[in-house]
Structure formats: C-alpha cells, structure tokens
Amino acid sequence: MFSYYLRQSLISLKRNPILSLLMVMAIALGIAAAMTTITVNYLMSADPIPSKSDRLFYVQLDSWSADEPFLEPNQPPDQLTWRDATELMRAAKAERQSAMATSMMVIEPDVAQQKPFSASVRLAYSDFFPMFNVPFQYGQGWHSDADQSRQLVVVLSHDMNERLFGGENSVGQSLRMGGRLFQIVGVMQPWQPRPRFFDVTTGAFADMNDVYVPFLLKEALTLPNGGNNNCWKPLPDATFQAYLNSECISNQFWVELSDQQAVADYQRFLDNYVTEQKKLGRFPRPLNNHLSDVMSWMEKQQVVSDDAQIMMYMALMFLLVCLLNTVALLLAKFLGKTPEIALRRALGANRRQLMQQHVLETACIGIAGGVLGLVLTWLGLLGVERLYQGNLKDLTQLDLPLLGMGMLLALVAAILAGLYPTWRACAIAPAGQLKTQ
Amino acid sequence: MLVMQQLTKKFRTDDVETHALRDFNLNVNEGDFIAVTGPSGSGKTTFLTIAGLLEDFDSGSYQLDGESVQGLNDKALSRLRNEKIGFIFQSFNLIADLNLFDNVDLPLRYRGFNAAERKRRIEQSLELVGLQHRLKHLPTQLSGGQQQRVAIARALAGEPRFLLADEPTGNLDSQMAQSVMALLEQINQRGTTIVMVTHDSELAKRASRNLVIRDGRASEQVVNQRAVSQFASA
C-alpha cells in the first residue's frame, strides 16, 4: 500500500499546488533558519580533536596582579609569561608539553619572480606535532634536540609549501626567513582544526599559521609578538630581555596527560611551582592554577558565542511559528478533503489506513520542504560568511551529518505538524459528509 | 441476510432530540430489490447509512449476513463494508483527478487484492457498465449517466452481496435514469441484493419490494410477485 499511498499523496499535493507550495515554503523557511544557526553552532562547538581531547590540557597560572583578577570572577590569565612557559618546559613533567607563541617573519623566496612577504609564525616545541596529531605530507616535525639548541629548522604549512615550492617535496631545502637560512624539515598536509583549539586567544576560527619554528628562537632572534600581549606590571626597561623576564603574558601552554592520576600529579606540580615562585616575590594572588581539557577550554573561552546561541534559539522559535502556520494550512487542506475521506471510508478504508495515507502526504511535504530548506540554508550560510567577511569560513559548510539532520528535522517537523489535521480529518463521521455531497 | 430489529436512532442538538428511526424492523433476503421511499426527513438516508455501517445506532439489533455488527471496532466494520457492501450515491462521488481505472480501483485497494486481480475485476466491472474502452478517461470527460455507471462499476468491482443506492438517478435526466435503472435490474437479476432509496415512484414500482419510511418507521407495500420478504412492522 505504500506506493499507492505515495501516489495518492502526490495527486493530492498537485490538486492544490499553491496551498502545497505555501506549506513547503513554510517548512523550508523554518528549516533554513534553524539549520543555518544550528550549523554555525554545531561547527563552533565541535570537538576538534576527538581522539584525545580528554588528554590534552591547557595550563593557566594566576600570575596576575594582587589588586584585581585577570577576569571576573577570579579567572586566571589565559596565557603564561615567557619565564613560566620556559620553566614549565624545562621541568618537563608531562608526557608531552609545548609552550607556544606567535610572531611574524619576512620570507624571501629563492625564486626571482616572488617578492619577499610577511608570514605568520608559530613558535612551538617539537611535542607540538605529535601532541596535536599534525598530519604531514612530507618529512616530519623537528627533533627535540632542535628545541634546546635553537636550530634554524622550519615546518611549512601545506599552503605555504604550495606558494613557495608549487607543492613539491621541499624537505631538506633552505628557506630564507628574517634574513637567516632555515632548513625545511617537514610540510604539513592541509590542516585546519575548527575551532583552532590550540590557540583561541587570537580567534578560535582564525587562519592557521604559515610556518612553525622552535619556540626558543623567539629569544635567540628577538622575534616580535604576533598575538595578544597583556601586562599588569611596568617593564623596568625597554629591552627585549626585560620584556621576556617581565610579567607580560603572551604564551600558550599545552600538556598531554594520559590519566586522572597524571592530571592530579601535574596540578600538584603547578601548585608547587607557583608556591616556589611566591617565595621569589612573584604570584601575589592566592593559588589559582587551572588545567582544562580541550572542550572545557573551548567553553571557558566561549568559543560558541552567546550571540550564536541566542540566534539559534530565535531560529528554533521561528521554525515553531512556521510549523504552526503549516498546521493551519494542513488543517484547511485536509478538512477540504473530508468528502474524499468519507468516500474512502464508505468503500472500506479504515481510519488507520487513512491516517497512514495522510501522514505520508505530510511526509512528502516535509521532504520537499527539507530539500528546499537545505538549499536556503546553503544560501543563508553564504550570507553569514559574507556578513562576517570570511571570519567564519569553514563554519558555514554543510556536511553529510548536517544534511541528514536537516532532512530529518524537516520530516519530523512536517509529520508533527500534520498529526492534528490528519486526526481531525480522519475522525469525521462519513455519513454526514456523504449526505451533504 | 440483512436483519434489523427494533432499531432506534436519535439525533440530539442542545435542546432538541429527533427520532430518525424508531422501532425499525426490516428483513432483507438474498436477491431482493427493495425501493425505499418516503417524504424528506423521514429517515431514509439514516436507514441507508446505518445499513451501510457508516453510522451507529442507539438501540435494537442489526445482523448483516448472519453477523451482529454491534460492538464491532472500526477495522472490523470497515472490512465488512468493503467485502459485503457496495455504495452508489446520488452525486456519483467519483474522485475528479483519478481516471476511471483508479476510481474503480478504490475499494479493491483496501481489499488487498494483487495487481492482476484488481485489473481483472476493474475491466470486468467497467465492461458490465459499457465503459471498458474509457479506462484512462477522467470523470469530467463523461456525461452524468456515464459517471453513475462508473460509480456502479466501482460498487460492483468488489463483488459485494449488497448494493446500497441513495437516489442513484436523482441527478440524471429521465432517459439516463431509465438506463441506470435497467442496469441495476440487470445486476439484481445476477444475484446482487439491492436496497435503493428513491423519490421516483415510477422507478420504485420496478423494484420487487417497496418500503415506505414515515417518521422513522417502516411499512411495506407489495408491488409485484417477486416480493418475498417476511416483513414485520413494529
């Protein structure tokens, strides 16, 4: 009977094309509004590294002023000082650890046709690559020896390798950056975790860096800050070394800890470290050191903004309004069909069979509304991307699960909207209808 | 075959109670052709819808083909209606956007026949009413008399034992009415029991039994020798 019901549903929809189109449009608009905001929220709140997000921890030490917290209520700073970052690296108490910072360097390509250009640099330790599952196209990350010996080695992003070497294997070649020759040891595959969890301080959805070099080169080459820098204490002088020794924060710090015991041990280590530092006159605030796993850190940093969530709730309310309109339109349509329903009853259809037929009809409306709604969602996401001028790039893409979710939402919404009209129409007394024909 | 005893049906509005049928008794035998007449509002259509299991009754008993219909659920009533009863309506009640084949197919779909069996029955019943060559036509492409013939074909396709007709010639001119009546007589002669509500006394005279309903009660007039019912008025 399914194919029969389906054919009858399509005939019924063709019978009142404008009414059918209105219902499809109502569902499509509701689905488009809901799916546009759900997509942005879903991609914003996605786990960027699901295989180990519960084993990676962001480190916060409360090195801020005694007079006021870094952020209310009593939040420690979101970055570390150079001194603390390098001390924690020296202690090496975690399974893997990496301090990070960002900078800018001028790249001078060997090719005469290419002019020098400024590239974004991520300073990190060798653990950065295995810790964050960085995929390599050629070569690999540098060896840990290069960290301490401050070797001039570099890992290129996929895009940078495309730009400089046309995508060829450039491992082993030299690259002039900041007036010095760096040896290329690795080229990444395209890698764009969303959100860019390992550094949300410069924007959770900002572009990835162009090149990656050892962290301590910041000191060796006196590289400028490329990201956020916050200070609560004036610098004693304007030298670079004074800045590195200051209480200014501009470095991120991640550790990989395999279990709860390791987390507890590392927390104890941090507290002990800060207690020792207090004896040196630093860390004037009470102990307030945090270890946050990836998803907790995303939440703390409000990667999914309140605005996006409010927009999603408003869009869901709009979907509800669209569904109420669909209920009214379906009610008008199905009550207009009561003579036919009465006739089918007279010819032997039971109420359940007629309910099935009409539920299938609403499902057809839902599917049509879903398809149109997803097209509108795609347009809506393009609009959002334009509105934010590319800052939400990659957050405005419908993937297969989202497409499936959109269709399912449309189908369920349409069937729910159709339940009452279907019940009303199928509950009519056939005798009364047949008499009035 | 169809036995109604002491049947009562009341319609209630806020402050008015109307007896549509009261102490209604009827015994229809196999092969009967009963014409039901009576003034407007006398209860003819109510009787027909109760007989067709489209409406419930308040008291009394009703047996269809030896089976009491009282207390049957919607599914069982629908099955009985589908298997044993065929309906013919004054306004034909064809679905405008289904062709003749699909209109006649309606009761067969709910019967669960396979495609080959449905096709055989549809073609056979349309042939009986002389419209086998217009399977793919829409109802609007037919005259009123032809539309009623399609409705008769639809009623017959499931080979029901009863045909319930509500003013089947009411919307037709006299020539078409005669033609449809002749078709019903032919169907009756093939063994199908027919109960027909009509206002036309001339057509009523052609039935084997004449039932007159007044104020919800039935009385019978024997109109020819084919009358065989054991009628008992309350």
Q: How many CB pairs under 8 A join A and B?
A: 69
- Put simply, the chain A residues between 110 and 139 with a CB less than 8 A from any chain B CB are none
Two tokens, residue B219: 């009385």
Q: What is the pLDDT of residues A5-32, one digit of tens each?
A: 998 888 888 988 999 999 999 999 999 9
Q: What is the pLDDT of residues A252-273, one digit of tens each?
A: 999 999 999 999 999 999 999 9
Q: Is the pLDDT of residue A55 over 60?
A: yes
**B73: closest CA among A352, A338, A422?**
A352
Tell me how close the Cα of A437 comes to any Cα of chain B, in angstroms.
7
- Check CB contact under 8 Å for B75 and A345: no
- Mean pLDDT along residues A193-206: 82
A-chain residues within 8 Å CB-CB of B87? 346-347
Mutate to test the interface with A, among B88, B93, B102, B148 (most CBs of A within 10 A): B93
CB of A347 closer than 8 Å to CB of A354: no
How far, in Å, CA of A271 to CA of A265, rounded?
10
Confidence of residue B230 (pLDDT cuts 50, 70, 90): very low
- Check CB contact under 8 Å for B110 and A344: yes
Q: Is the pLDDT of residue B234 over 50?
A: no
How far, in Å, CA of A302 to CA of A154, rounded?
32
Tokens 């998803």 correspond to A295
CB of B146 closer than 8 Å to CB of B139: no
Mutate to test the interface with A, among B57, B87, B106, B171 (most CBs of A within 10 A): B106
pLDDT, position A390: 57
Two tokens, residue A17: 């094309």
- Check CB contact under 8 Å for A348 and B82: yes
Q: Is the pLDDT of residue B219 over 50?
A: yes
Question: Does the complex come out with an ipTM higher than 0.90?
Answer: no
pLDDT, position A174: 93
CB of B60 closer than 8 Å to CB of B4: yes
Q: Which long-range contacts (CB under 8 A, 24 or more apart) does A207-210 make?
A: A207/A120, A208/A157, A209/A102, A209/A120, A209/A121, A209/A122, A209/A157, A210/A107, A210/A119, A210/A120, A210/A121, A210/A156, A210/A157, A210/A159, A210/A160
B82 contacts: CB under 8 Å, gap ≥ 6? A347, A348, A349, B107, B110, B111, B158
Query: 3-state class of A415 per DSSP?
Result: helix
A-chain residues within 8 Å CB-CB of B98? 11
**B3: closest CA among B81, B63, B65?**
B63
pLDDT, position A1: 81
**CA–CA distance from A181 to each of A58, A142, A154 (Å)?**
33, 16, 10
Confidence of residue B233 (pLDDT cuts 50, 70, 90): very low
Q: pTM of the prediction?
A: 0.68
How far, in Å, CA of A55 to CA of A294, rounded?
8
Tell me how close the Cα of A322 comes to any Cα of chain B, in angstroms.
30
Pick from B52, B95, B110: CB nearest A349: B110
* CB crowding A68-97: b at 16 or more within 10 Å, else e: ebbeeeeebbbbbbbbbbbebbeeebbebb
Confidence of residue A395 (pLDDT cuts 50, 70, 90): low
pLDDT, position A393: 60
Tell me how close the Cα of B26 comes to any Cα of chain A, in angstroms.
20
How far, in Å, CA of B155 to CA of B162, rounded?
9
- Check CB contact under 8 Å for B78 and A343: no
What mean pLDDT value characterizes chain A?
90
- Mean pLDDT along residues B163-189: 84
- Mean pLDDT along residues B133-159: 88
Q: What is the pLDDT of residues B52-89, one digit of tens each?
A: 998 889 899 999 888 898 889 989 999 999 999 998 88
- Check CB contact under 8 Å for B91 and A437: yes
pLDDT, position A287: 92
Q: How far is CA A426 from the centre of its chain?
A: 47
Query: Rounded to 5 degrees, what are φ and ψ at A348?
Result: 120, 0
pLDDT, position A396: 64
pLDDT, position A291: 95
Tell me how close the Cα of B224 comes to any Cα of chain A, in angstroms.
31
Q: Which long-range contacts (CB under 8 A, 24 or more apart) does A279-288 make?
A: A282/A63, A282/A247, A283/A61, A283/A62, A283/A63, A284/A65, A284/A66, A285/A62, A285/A63, A285/A64, A285/A65, A285/A66, A285/A69, A286/A62, A287/A62, A288/A62, A288/A74, A288/A76
- Mean pLDDT along residues B213-219: 85
Confidence of residue A325 (pLDDT cuts 50, 70, 90): very high
Tell me how close the Cα of A430 comes to any Cα of chain B, in angstroms.
6
How far, in Å, CA of A301 to CA of A304, rounded?
8
- Put simply, the chain A residues between 331 and 360 with a CB less than 8 A from any chain B CB are 339-340, 343-353
How far, in Å, CA of B160 to CA of B182, rounded?
19
Query: 3-state class of A236 per DSSP?
Result: coil
Out of A246-260, B41-55, B148-162, B185-199, the most confident range is A246-260
**Dihedral (C-alpha) B17, B18, B23, B24: value to the nearest 10 degrees?**
-150
pLDDT, position A92: 94
Q: Where are the alpha helices (DSSP H) in A239-305?
A: 240-244, 260-279, 294-300
Two tokens, residue A60: 């916060």
Tell me how close the Cα of A350 comes to any Cα of chain B, in angstroms.
5
CA-based torsion, A295, A297, A302, A303: positive or negative: negative
Tell me how close the Cα of A348 comes to any Cα of chain B, in angstroms.
4
- Which secondary structure element, helix H or strand E, spans residue B64, and what is its range? strand B59-64
**A365: closest CA among A294, A421, A427, A306?**
A421
- Check CB contact under 8 Å for A347 and B106: yes
B-chain residues within 8 Å CB-CB of A340? 95
Give the strand pairing for A56-60 and B193-197.
unpaired
pLDDT, position A237: 87
Tell me how close the Cα of A419 comes to any Cα of chain B, in angstroms.
19
pLDDT, position A372: 94
If you classify domain B2-222 with CATH, what class do you get? alpha beta
pLDDT, position A61: 95
Q: Is the pLDDT of residue B224 over 60?
A: no
- Check CB contact under 8 Å for B45 and A435: yes
Confidence of residue B90 (pLDDT cuts 50, 70, 90): confident
**A9: closest CA among A358, A368, A426, A424?**
A358
- Check CB contact under 8 Å for A11 and B81: no
pLDDT, position A254: 96
* Interface check A91 vs B, CB under 8 A: no
Pick from B54, B83, B97: CB nearest A346: B54
Amino acid making up residue A303: V
Query: Rounded to 5 degrees, what are φ and ψ at A288?
Result: -155, 65
pLDDT, position A435: 60
Q: What's the Rg (C-alpha) of chain B?
A: 18
Minimum Cα–Cα distance from B104: chain A residue: A347
- Check CB contact under 8 Å for B110 and A430: no
Q: How far is CA A34 from the centre of its chain?
A: 18
B-chain residues within 8 Å CB-CB of A3? none
A-chain residues within 8 Å CB-CB of B82? 347-349
Query: 3-state class of A367 per DSSP?
Result: helix
CB of B231 closer than 8 Å to CB of B34: no
- Check CB contact under 8 Å for A347 and B81: yes
Pick from B74, B97, B110: CB nearest A347: B110
A298 contacts: CB under 8 Å, gap ≥ 6? A45, A195, A197, A200, A204, A304
Query: 3-state class of A108 per DSSP?
Result: strand
